[in-house]
Every structure is written in structure tokens, then in C-alpha cells.
């Protein structure tokens, strides 16, 4: 029993939230699974809502720190990392989360997906803020690898990648994730490079003109 009650609650809650969702998971389930008293959640975290935020802060900090560290390492090796290397620094830490332990990381990916789906404005803003720091770093790195890219579009494109990453990681079976991550990096790199041609498909332009 070297782990504190607080940590046991965090672990149990994270697992249950990922499996069942936030609202379906009850404090009674959490405390029972953590071998703690029902009142201890409110004692340590104040409320259920604040427990959720604490869980997110813990994992998101770790994930984003790993991403930045990986990007730092790449930039230390080469002053001008190519596009694939930058994308890997973003994608692979998420992948390693999925691989560590047994399915623990995949659960967190599902948790992340739930956070995207939820309309909790406070949680959403906190996540965006937590991400903003990292996104700016990666946007710079991509700009560096792709000097002619349009910065305005880049933000949208990074959102595409986050969406593809989050949804596929949360959905896919465990053993496939390595291959999928490699494919995603390749796909995203080609997508980013392809936008350089700045070619708006004719049919899309047609649609845009028809409605403006």
C-alpha cells in the first residue's frame, strides 16, 4: 500500500471514465474500485468535476511534454528536420501512450475523444489552452520544414491531423496502432505538401462560387 489514496482514486477514475464515460461513472464505483471511502473524492478533489480536470491535467501534461521533448531531440540532431520527422514527434508519443502497460494508453485516447465530444466549456477551454502551447511549437516546426506553407491553412491542417489521430487511435485495435501511426504520418505529410500547390479543385471552387 505505498500508493496514496489520492493516486488510487485518480487511477481508478481514469479507467472507469474511459470505459463508461463521465456521467455514467459514479463516485461509488470509483471509490469502491480504489478501496477508498465514498467521501474521499470530495475530500481530495472537492467535486466530481474537479476530479475529471485533475485526471486530464495529469495525462495531457505528460503527453505534450513527451511531444515537445521529442521535437527538441529531433531539432538537436538536425537544424532543419524534415516534415516526416516533425509529424512523428507529434504522433508517436500518442502511440507510445497506447503501447505502454496494457491498453492503459488507449483508454486515455478514448478519454480524450470524450473530452472532444463533451460540451463542458470550461474543460474545453482548458484543453485548448493546454494544447495551444504545443500547437504553436509544432506549427513553427512544420513551417520551418515547409517554408512556403500558408500559415492560415496550417492551423486547419493541424486540426485535421489531430482529428485523424484521435479518432483512429481511439477506434483501432491495439496491435495495429504502430502501422496506422506510420501510415498517418505519411498521409499527413503528403497532405501538407500537396497543399503547397495551392490548387483549389475546380468542383470545390464551383461550389464555393455558387453559394457566395
Where on the chain is the footprint of its own copies (CB under 8 A)?
19-21, 23-24, 82, 84-85, 88, 92, 110, 113-114, 116-119, 153, 156-157, 159-168, 170-171, 178-195, 197, 199-205, 207-208, 211
Rounded Cα distance between 180 and 182, Å, is 5
Q: Which residues of 183-198 are buried (b: 16+ CB within 10 A; e: fewer)?
A: ebbeebbeebeebeee
Q: Which is nearer to its own copies, 1 or 209 (CB)?
A: 209
- Does position 26 interact with DNA (CB under 7 A)? The reply is yes
- Does position 33 interact with DNA (CB under 7 A)? The reply is no
- Does position 36 interact with DNA (CB under 7 A)? The reply is yes
- Does position 40 interact with DNA (CB under 7 A)? The reply is yes
Cell 501510415 identifies what position? Answer: 183
- Does position 32 interact with DNA (CB under 7 A)? The reply is no
Q: Cell for 141?
A: 516546426
Rounded Cα distance between 44 and 50, Å, is 10
Rounded Cα distance between 189 and 68, Å, is 19
Residue 101 binds which of its own copies, DNA, none (CB < 5-8 A, kind-dependent)? none
Q: Which is nearer to its own copies, 4 or 47 (CB)?
A: 47
* Interface with DNA (CB under 7 A), residue from 3, 7, 32, 38: 38
- Does position 43 interact with DNA (CB under 7 A)? The reply is yes
Beta strands in the chain (DSSP E): none
Do residues 55 and 114 touch, judged by C-beta distance below 8 A? no
Query: Where does this chain bind DNA (CB under 7 A)?
Result: 5, 25-29, 36-44, 47-49
Amino acid at each position: 500500500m505505498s500508493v496514496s489514496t489520492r493516486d488510487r482514486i485518480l487511477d481508478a477514475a481514469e479507467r472507469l471514465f474511459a470505459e463508461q464515460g463521465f456521467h455514467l461513472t459514479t463516485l461509488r464505483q470509483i471509490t469502491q474500485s480504489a478501496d477508498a471511502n465514498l467521501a474521499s473524492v470530495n475530500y481530495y478533489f472537492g467535486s466530481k468535476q474537479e476530479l475529471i480536470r485533475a485526471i486530464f491535467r495529469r495525462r495531457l501534461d505528460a503527453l505534450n511534454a513527451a511531444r515537445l521533448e521529442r521535437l527538441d531531440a529531433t531539432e538537436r540532431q538536425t537544424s532543419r528536420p524534415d516534415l516526416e520527422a516533425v509529424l512523428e514527434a507529434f504522433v508517436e508519443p500518442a502511440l507510445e501512450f497506447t503501447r505502454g502497460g496494457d491498453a492503459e494508453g488507449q483508454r486515455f485516447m478514448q478519454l480524450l475523444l470524450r473530452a472532444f465530444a463533451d460540451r463542458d466549456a470550461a474543460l474545453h477551454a482548458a484543453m485548448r489552452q493546454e494544447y495551444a502551447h504545443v500547437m504553436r511549437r509544432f506549427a513553427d516546426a512544420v513551417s520551418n520544414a515547409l517554408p512556403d506553407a500558408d500559415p492560415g491553412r496550417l492551423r486547419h491542417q493541424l486540426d485535421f491531423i489531430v482529428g485523424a489521430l484521435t479518432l483512429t487511435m481511439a477506434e483501432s485495435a491495439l496491435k495495429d496502432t504502430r502501422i496506422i501511426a506510420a501510415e498517418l504520418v505519411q498521409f499527413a505529410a503528403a497532405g501538407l505538401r500537396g497543399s503547397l500547390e495551392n490548387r483549389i479543385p475546380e468542383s470545390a471552387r464551383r461550389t464555393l462560387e455558387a453559394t457566395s
